[in-house]
């Protein structure tokens, strides 16, 4: 098994999205407090997050995603009798602008991708999420500058296809970069989407980005675990070592098989046997 292809998740793998969310929510709350001084912004944020977790965008795709989220802010404000659709939209725009303004790679990612490219690895980002939100994130970190291939799960959904962990999205990536699943690995932070997805697609393996040192699960089992994505070159070095050992074992087994076959067919007589069969000049 030679791994020559790497698929990457985006959020909390190549970019620490959760970290960027915190200051963005803080800016959104500060704006809410400015516009509505009476508001309990902590309670408003909790009410927003509860609604967001349940339905982060319009399941019917009729309401534009920023407006949908503005409506969630408005409902959260309404819990305190302070509904204001215009302010709610302002709050959502503030969140988006703050987050996109700071949305950047984990330190060392562009350099690592350049090194992997120089070492002839084929690569593709496979990211789940709402199509517009994910494309905005990819634009913000200028993903197309360093990745030739990108698949957005939300685009798949619009075409009627499932996103991660379905095997189909990984097989699409294989077609895109021209590799076979057994030559590819997937790197991501989500056990249910990334690690399970690699298993579903029968990839060569998976690398779990376990940033917070969470306890390893019983299933799905990642092939390798790292704390930060930039540890990937060490994993690839291990994989190269493993494939060299596998190749050496295949060669040894093939040689042993050939020797056994030739001996059993009488096609090859070991040197010492021939000497024994040779008539002795001192006989008779
Ligand atoms: Mg992720």
Residue 268 shares a structural domain with residue 188: no
Domain shared by 10 and 28, yes or no: no
Task: Confirm whether 283 is domain-assigned.
Answer: no
4 CA from centroid of ligand 1 (Å): 22
- CA 127 / ligand 1 centre spacing (Å): 7
Question: Do 31 and 126 share a domain, yes or no?
Answer: no
Same domain? For 121 and 192 the reply is yes
Domain boundary among 48, 72, 102: 102
Spatial distance between the Cα atoms of 187 and 170, rounded to a whole number of angstroms:
12
Point out the domain boundary residue: 55, 78, 102.
102
Q: What is the CATH number of the domain that holds 183?
A: 3.40.50.1000
pLDDT at 272: 52
Ligand 1 center from residue 163 Cα (angstroms): 13
- The CA 269 to ligand 1 mean position distance, Å, reads 62
Domain interval for residue 36: 17-102
Is there a single domain that holds both residue 121 and residue 9?
yes
Q: What is the CATH number of the domain that holds 55?
A: 1.20.120
Parts of the chain with a pLDDT under 50? 273-274, 283-284
Identify the residue whose tokens are 């400015």. Answer: 34
Together in a domain, 82 and 172:
no
pLDDT at 1: 72
Q: Say how many Å lie between the CA of residue 13 and the centre of ligand 1.
A: 6
Residue 284 pLDDT: 47
Tell me whether residue 42 is in a domain: yes
Task: Kindly report, residue by residue over 189-228, the tens digit of the pLDDT.
Answer: 999 999 999 999 999 999 999 999 999 889 999 999 999 9
Cα(229) to ligand 1 centroid in Å equals 11
- Is 265 within a domain? yes
Residue 161 CA, ligand 1 centroid: distance in Å: 19
Residue 206 falls inside a structural domain: yes
Q: Note residues around ion ligand 1 (Cβ under 5 angstroms).
A: 9, 11-12, 189-190
Sequence-distant (6+) residues with CB within 8 A of 37 are: none
Backbone Cα Rg of the chain: 28
Residues 6+ apart with CB under 8 A from 106: 14, 15, 16, 228, 229, 230
The two three-digit tokens of residue 219, written as one number? 């299933």
Distance 249 CA to ligand 1 centre (A): 37
Residue 180 lies in a domain: yes
Could you read off the pLDDT of 212-222 as tens digits, one per residue? 999 988 999 99
Integer Cα distance of 180 and 219 in angstroms: 24
Task: Answer yes or no: do 121 and 178 share one domain.
Answer: yes
Q: What is the pLDDT of residue 269?
A: 63
Residue 284 belongs to some domain of the structure = no
Percent helix, strand, coil in the chain (nearest 5)? 55, 10, 35
Same domain, 205 and 216: yes
Q: What pLDDT is recorded for position 147?
A: 98
- How far is the centre of ligand 1, averaged over its atoms, from the C-alpha of 227 (Å)? 13
Classify residue 25: in a domain, yes or no.
Answer: yes
The pLDDT value given to residue 278: 52
Residue 15 Cα, ligand 1 centroid: separation in angstroms? Answer: 9
Q: What is the count of structural domains for the chain?
A: 3
Domain check: are 10 and 150 in the same one?
yes
> Are both 113 and 216 inside the same structural domain?
yes
271 and 171, same structural domain? no
- 12 CA from centroid of ligand 1 (Å): 5
Ligand 1 centre and the CA of 212: distance in Å?
13
Q: What is the pTM of this model?
A: 0.86
Ligand 1 centroid, distance to 156 Cα (angstroms): 17
> Which of 102, 132, 148 is the C-terminal boundary of a domain?
102
Q: Is 189 helix (H, G, I), strand (E, B) or coil?
A: coil
Same domain (yes/no): 31, 149: no
* Ligand 1 centroid to residue 9 C-alpha, Å: 6
């Amino acid at each position: 098994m030679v791994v020559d292809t790497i698929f990457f998740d985006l959020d909390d793998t190549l970019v620490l999205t959760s970290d960027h969310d915190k200051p963005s929510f803080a800016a959104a709350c500060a704006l809410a407090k400015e516009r509505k001084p009476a508001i309990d912004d902590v309670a408003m944020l909790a009410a927003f997050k509860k609604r967001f977790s349940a339905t982060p965008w319009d399941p019917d795709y009729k309401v534009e995603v920023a407006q949908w989220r503005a409506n969630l802010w408005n409902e959260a404000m309404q819990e305190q009798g302070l509904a204001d659709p215009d302010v709610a939209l302002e709050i959502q725009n503030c969140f988006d602008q703050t987050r996109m303004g700071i949305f950047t790679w984990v330190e060392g990612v562009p350099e690592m991708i350049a090194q992997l490219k120089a070492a002839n690895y084929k690569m593709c980002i496979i990211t789940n999420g709402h199509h517009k939100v994910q494309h905005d994130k990819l634009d913000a970190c200028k993903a197309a500058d360093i990745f030739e291939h990108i698949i957005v799960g939300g685009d798949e959904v619009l075409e009627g296809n499932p996103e991660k962990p379905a095997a189909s999205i990984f097989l699409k990536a294989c077609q895109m970069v021209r590799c076979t699943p057994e030559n590819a690995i997937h790197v991501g932070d989500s056990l249910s989407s990334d690690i399970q997805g690699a298993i579903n697609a029968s990839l060569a393996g998976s690398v779990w980005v376990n940033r917070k040192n969470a306890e390893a699960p019983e299933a799905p089992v990642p092939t390798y675990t790292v704390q930060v994505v930039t540890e990937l070159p060490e994993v690839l070095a291990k994989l190269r070592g493993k494939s060299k050992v596998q190749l050496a074992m295949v060669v040894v087994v093939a040689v042993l098989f050939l020797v056994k076959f030739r001996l059993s067919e009488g096609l090859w007589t070991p040197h010492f046997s021939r000497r024994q069969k040779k008539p002795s000049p001192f006989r008779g």
